[in-house]
């Protein structure tokens, strides 16, 4: 877990939720870039909680799989983002875009 504390970029791919659990109590104070490729049934809420509370420098988020439904309600996390890339649109576009106060690059 000490490796995560120095991590600047993290890429996570979850193709199938069976037998895989994302870390839920990690702190990544230097994390700036996060790429998520998530299966639609993956349980990532605890991981997103850790990212939101323990990664104050996160500014770039790329989601190449299913958009996590609760991400649109994570205002603190969204307000940090300068760059956001989505490959599948969220169900709640309005809540998502309302929280992107510092966004400079959207794809």
pLDDT in tens, the chain (107 residues): 556 778 899 888 776 655 556 666 778 899 999 998 877 667 778 888 888 888 999 999 998 877 777 788 888 899 999 999 988 777 766 777 788 889 999 88
Q: Which residues contact 105 (CB under 8 A, 6 or more apart)?
A: 82, 83, 84, 85
User: Collapsing DSSP states into helix, strand and coil, what is residue 33?
Assistant: strand
Q: Which structural domain, as residue segments, surrounds residue 59? A: 2-106
Q: What angle do CA 77, 40, 79 make, to 5 degrees?
A: 10
Give this prediction's pTM: 0.81
In total, how many domains does the chain have?
Answer: 1
The answer to whether the beta carbons of residues 72 and 48 sit under 8 Å apart is no
């Amino acid at each position: 877990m000490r490796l995560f504390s120095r991590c600047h970029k993290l890429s996570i791919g979850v193709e199938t939720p069976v037998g895989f659990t994302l870390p839920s109590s990690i702190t990544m104070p230097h994390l700036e870039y996060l790429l998520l490729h998530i299966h639609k049934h993956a349980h990532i809420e605890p991981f997103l909680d850790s990212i939101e509370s323990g990664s104050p420098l996160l500014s770039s988020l790329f989601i190449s799989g299913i958009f996590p439904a609760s991400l649109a309600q994570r205002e603190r996390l969204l307000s940090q983002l300068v760059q956001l890339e989505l490959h599948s649109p969220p169900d709640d576009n309005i809540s998502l875009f309302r929280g992107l106060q510092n966004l400079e690059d959207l794809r």
